[in-house]
Amino acid sequence: MILVTGATGNVGRELTTLLPEARTLSRRSGADLARPDTLTEALHDVDSVFLVWPFLTADGAAETLGKVAQHARRVVYLSSSAVRFGADTDPITRLHTDLEAAVQQSGLEWTILRADTFASNALGWAGQLRAGDTVRGPDSAATAVIDPADVAAAAVRLLNHPEAGTTHTVTGPDVLSRADQVAILGAALGRQLSFEPTPFAEARAQLTADGRPDALVEALIGSAERRPRSDLITTAVQDLTGRPARSFRAWADRNVAAFG
CA gap 158, 165 in Å, rounded: 11
Residue 147 belongs to domain spanning:
2-259
Cα–Cα distance between 156 and 18 in angstroms, integer? 7
CATH of the domain at 193: 3.40.50.720
DSSP class of residue 259 equals G
42: nearest Cα among 31, 53, 50: 31
Q: What's the one-letter identity of residue 120?
A: S
Strand ranges inside 17-64, DSSP E: 23-24, 48-51
Q: What is the DSSP letter of 253?
A: H
Question: For the chain, what is the mean pLDDT?
Answer: 94
pLDDT at position 39 is 96
Tens digits of residue pLDDT in 119-157: 999 999 999 999 999 999 999 999 999 999 999 999 999
pLDDT average, residue stretch 91-95: 91
Number of domains in the chain: 1
Is the pLDDT at 72 greater than 80, yes or no? yes
pTM equals 0.94
- Residue 260's pLDDT is 81
More confident call, 199 vs 26: 199
Nearest-angstrom CA–CA distance, 94 and 91: 5
Angle of CA points 51, 82, 253, to nearest 5°: 75
Give pLDDT, residue 224.
86
CB within 8 Å of 213: residues ≥ 6 apart: none
Q: Give residue 161's pLDDT band: very low, low, confident or very high (50, 70, 90).
A: very high
Phi-psi region of 58 (alpha: psi -120 to 50; beta: other; left: phi over 0): alpha
SS3 of 7, please? coil
Task: Kindly give, in sequence order, each residue whose CB lies less than 8 Å from that of residue 143, ignoring residues fewer than 6 positions away.
Answer: 81, 116, 117, 171, 175, 176, 227, 229, 230, 232
In this model, does residue 26 exceed pLDDT 90?
Answer: no
- What is the pLDDT confidence band of residue 87, given thresholds at 50, 70 and 90? low
Q: What is the pLDDT confidence band of residue 29, given thresholds at 50, 70 and 90? A: confident
When pLDDT is averaged across residues 168-182 and rounded to a whole number, the result is 98
**Contact between 42 and 7 (Cβ < 8 Å):** no
Give yes or no for residue 258 having a pLDDT over 80: yes
